[in-house]
Amino acid sequence: MARVAIVTGGTRGIGAAISLALRDRGHTVVANYGGNDEKAKAFTAEHGIPAYKWDVGDHEACIAGCKQVEQDVGPVDILVNNAGVTRDGTLHKMTFDDWNEVMRINLGGCFNMAKATFPGMRDRGWGRIINIGSINGQAGQYGQVNYAAAKSGIHGFTKALAQEGAKFGVLVNAIAPGYIDTDMVAAVPEPVLEKIVAKIPVGRLGSAYEIARGVAFLASENAGFITGSTLSINGGQHMY
């Protein structure tokens, strides 16, 4: 059955792949983005998926943005919380603004978007919320106390909201990607990236489309008995 889906950070990288995967499965997809107008317009022009701009770290903007989407295309039954930023640095050098911005967008955005869409899903008796965590939220990472904390928080948020939503038919899960071949990873210095890949048992970076296929499955009817789970897609780099 076709549903309306919102993918935050949905015009670039992993988010773009998720938007396309959900569209290819027949859903009506809206891609949210926060800043890059040029790339958002290019994404819409190429793929025909509308892009709506708002800051997921802004609570009122999320409420207003989701209301506008519902007016334009219909009630939202699938939410993918993918938007995220990095402000890396050791704690010694990290500013409060570096900490706060990552928490505000990466973790706060999950709350804001769920607050805007969960009530409708609950009332209609069907919904899927998929939160994009990270291997670094599971295992930690040097120089990322803000990012690791926010992503770890996403996993706890997922389990708690899953308990609230289950009896209403709203299933909440997370995906924890490993190192994926995106612009964010491409910014890692080559010698550092080589060391990272050397620790991945399958011997390569992941593809954004491998994450997207996981999201598409969790958003489907076939995942009807899965909630409160984290699907790790990391090439075996972190097993637990």
Active-site option among 33, 52, 147, 179: 147
| Confidence check: pLDDT of 182 > 90 | no
Q: What is the mean pLDDT of the chain?
A: 95
Establish if 91 belongs to a structural domain: yes
Q: What confidence category does residue 188 fall into, taking pLDDT thresholds of 50, 70 and 90?
A: confident
116: containing domain: 4-233
Residue 91 neighbours by CB distance under 10 Å: 10
Q: Are 66 and 7 in contact (CB under 8 A)?
A: no
As for how many domains the chain has, the answer is 1
Query: For residue 9, is it left (φ>0), alpha (ψ between -120 and 50) or beta?
Result: left
Residue 162 neighbours by CB distance under 10 Å: 19
Q: What confidence category does residue 216 fall into, taking pLDDT thresholds of 50, 70 and 90?
A: very high
SS3 at position 160: helix
Residue 2 neighbours by CB distance under 10 Å: 10
Establish if 21 belongs to a structural domain: yes
Q: What is the pLDDT of residues 74-113, one digit of tens each?
A: 999 999 999 999 898 899 999 999 999 999 999 999 999 9
147 is catalytic: yes
Establish if 239 belongs to a structural domain: no
- Beta strand 51-53 with 78-81 is unpaired
Q: Compute the Cα dihedral for 40, 103, 5, 66 and give only its sign.
A: negative
CATH code for position 78? 3.40.50.720
Give pLDDT, residue 86: 86
Of 146, 118, 148, the C-alpha closest to 133 is 148
Q: What is the pLDDT of residues 35-81, one digit of tens each?
A: 899 999 999 999 999 999 999 999 999 999 999 999 999 999 999 99
Establish if 77 belongs to a structural domain: yes
| Confidence check: pLDDT of 186 > 80 | no
Of 24, 66, 72, the C-alpha closest to 219 is 24
Of 88, 128, 132, the C-alpha closest to 106 is 132
Q: What confidence category does residue 136 fall into, taking pLDDT thresholds of 50, 70 and 90?
A: confident
Establish if 30 belongs to a structural domain: yes
pTM over 0.85: yes
